[in-house]
């Protein structure tokens, strides 16, 4: 309910096939933006669910996969692992400043997830 309230489409990848939910929600066109929080082999399903020239963002990309499907659809792949700067002590202060700015924007009510 929260995802839909925020304008997203919640998908149960365990009970729905990609073809079924893409058809039901996009009339087979695919989604402009796909957020994959599962990773692994599911990342390929995210490519399938994305529209031509769509965007796939993942926070779990620990997988060896063939990017050919993403290439042929002209997808943008965004791999987000926010802890890298913290784990490697790389620009930690800058990372902290970014997070502080984001917190202020959220606190002021200017950003909704």
pLDDT above 90 coverage of the chain, percent:
50
Q: Report residue 53's pLDDT band, with 50, 70 and 90 as the boundaries.
A: very high
Q: Are residues 20 and 60 in the same domain?
A: yes
Q: Report residue 89's pLDDT band, with 50, 70 and 90 as the boundaries.
A: confident
Q: Are residues 63 and 49 in the same domain?
A: yes
Which residues, in sequence order, are CB contacts of 21 under 8 Å at separation 6+?
Answer: 9, 11, 49
What three-state secondary structure class fits 108? coil
CATH number at residue 66: 3.40.50.720
On average, the pLDDT of the chain sits at 89
Q: Are residues 44 and 55 in the same domain?
A: yes
Q: Are residues 51 and 15 in the same domain?
A: yes
Give the range of the structural domain holding residue 51, as residue numbers without chain letter. 2-81
CA distance 29 to 80: 25
- Per-residue confidence (pLDDT) for residue 113, from 0 to 100: 64
Q: Are residues 31 and 61 in the same domain?
A: yes
What are the tens digits of pLDDT across the range 92-109? 888 889 889 989 999 999
Q: Are residues 56 and 10 in the same domain?
A: yes
Q: Are residues 65 and 87 in the same domain?
A: no
Q: Are residues 74 and 97 in the same domain?
A: no
Q: How far is CA 86 from CA 18, 39, 91, 94, 97, in A?
A: 35, 22, 8, 10, 13
Q: Which residue did the predictor score with more confidence, 26 or 1?
A: 26
What are the tens digits of pLDDT across the range 63-81? 888 999 999 999 999 988 7
Q: Are residues 108 and 64 in the same domain?
A: no
């Amino acid at each position: 309910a929260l995802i839909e309230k925020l304008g997203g489409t919640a998908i149960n990848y365990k009970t729905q096939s990609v073809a079924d939910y893409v058809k039901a929600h996009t009339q087979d066109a695919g989604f402009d933006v796909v957020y994959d929080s599962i990773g692994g082999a599911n990342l390929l399903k995210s490519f399938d669910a994305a529209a031509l020239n769509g965007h796939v963002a993942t926070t779990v990309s620990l997988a060896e996969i063939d990017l050919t499907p993403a290439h042929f659809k002209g997808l943008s792949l965004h791999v987000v692992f926010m802890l890298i700067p913290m784990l490697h002590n790389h620009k930690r202060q800058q990372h902290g400043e970014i997070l502080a700015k984001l917190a202020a924007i959220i606190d002021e009510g200017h950003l909704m997830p």
